[in-house]
């Protein structure tokens, strides 16, 4: 069971994010939504990943909280499949098609097996996010929190963008589309909506503004978006990146 620690009436959520640079632990108060404590545990090499996680899970402060929810969040590459076409038995094929092995060693080694594959259903968007997380990492967390929920950062971002899109004023122009872009240190995520319907979602690996510009404008062109009509909602971008993108896309917010 997830309940651990003292008998306080306050309930907490533990979020364990697994990314390219290691593990980030976040303890949140479910009553007021505040973040109580955060910790980061870097991973220097793939062989050290399991040991780092085990040590992090044994930190004494974790016993001070009553965790109503524990989630393991994968900050990794994803692919999205329409809900009507999704089949669990095809997950590995979906993933390998989008991300063929490049032979490089990392904590997100793409030599995936079916046991590594996970999925997250996004019912409101009629879509399924497919991603991978090493089965050994999941097993270690389950030893401490058997009912841990597995999810991914891209799905969280997509659901957030969907909420923003619903609140956004729908243009009188029936053809106008909205692109939501969130820039991270190593990757950026893009979701495109047309009148509240998801048309595209995906992430790209890019750690500098030059690559971000090239890839983002490439997506814009591939989707045949209109630089004068369509809107780009850009989040987390540097001033330089905003300036460059603004030279190509008129409606930048």
* 127 in a structural domain: no
Q: What pLDDT score was predicted for residue 171?
A: 65
Q: How many CB atoms lie under 10 A from the CB of residue 26?
A: 17
* 103 in a structural domain: no
CATH number at residue 194: 3.30.420.260
Q: What is the pLDDT of residues 164-195, one digit of tens each?
A: 888 876 666 778 899 999 998 888 999 999 98
**Residue 6 to residue 167: CA distance in whole angstroms:** 40
**How many structural domains comprise the chain?**
1
* 62 in a structural domain: no
* 121 in a structural domain: no
Domain of residue 200 covers 168-252
Residue 166 and residue 196 in contact, taking contact as beta carbons nearer than 8 Å? yes
Contact residues for 221 (Cβ-Cβ < 8 A; gap 6+): none
* 180 in a structural domain: yes
* 120 in a structural domain: no
* 163 in a structural domain: no
Question: DSSP for 203-246?
Answer: EEE--SHHHHHHHHHHHHHHTT--TTTSEEEEES--HHHHHHHH
* 95 in a structural domain: no
Q: What is the pLDDT of residues 118-157, one digit of tens each?
A: 999 998 899 999 998 999 999 999 999 999 999 999 999 9
* Distance from chain centroid for Cα 247: 28
Q: What pLDDT score was predicted for residue 26?
A: 95
What does each C-alpha distance from 184 to 134, 165, 189, 217, 238 come to in angstroms?
Answer: 22, 20, 8, 17, 11
Q: Tell me the pLDDT band of 110, cut-offs 50, 70 and 90.
A: very low
């Amino acid at each position: 069971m997830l309940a651990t620690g003292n008998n306080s009436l306050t309930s907490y959520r533990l979020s364990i994010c697994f990314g390219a640079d290691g593990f980030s632990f976040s303890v949140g108060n479910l009553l007021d939504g505040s973040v109580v404590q955060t910790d980061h545990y870097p991973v220097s090499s793939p062989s050290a990943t399991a040991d780092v996680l085990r040590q992090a899970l044994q930190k004494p402060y974790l016993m001070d909280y009553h965790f109503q929810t524990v989630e393991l969040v994968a900050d990794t590459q994803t692919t999205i499949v329409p809900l009507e076409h999704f089949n669990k038995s095809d997950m590995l094929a979906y993933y390998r098609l989008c991300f063929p092995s490049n032979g490089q060693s990392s904590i997100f080694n793409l030599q995936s097996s079916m046991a590594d594959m996970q999925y997250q259903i996004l019912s409101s968007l009629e879509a399924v996010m497919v991603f991978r997380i090493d089965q050994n990492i999941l097993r270690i967390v389950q030893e401490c929190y058997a009912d841990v929920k597995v999810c991914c950062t891209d799905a969280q971002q997509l659901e957030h963008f969907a909420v923003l899109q619903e609140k956004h004023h729908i243009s009188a122009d029936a053809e106008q589309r909205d692109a939501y872009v969130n820039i991270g240190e190593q990757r950026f995520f893009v979701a495109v909506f047309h009148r509240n319907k998801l048309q595209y979602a995906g992430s790209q690996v890019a750690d500098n503004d030059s690559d971000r510009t090239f890839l983002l404008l490439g997506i814009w062109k591939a989707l045949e978006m209109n630089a004068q009509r369509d809107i780009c909602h850009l989040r987390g971008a540097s001033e330089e990146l905003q300036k460059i993108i603004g030279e190509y896309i008129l409606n930048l917010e």
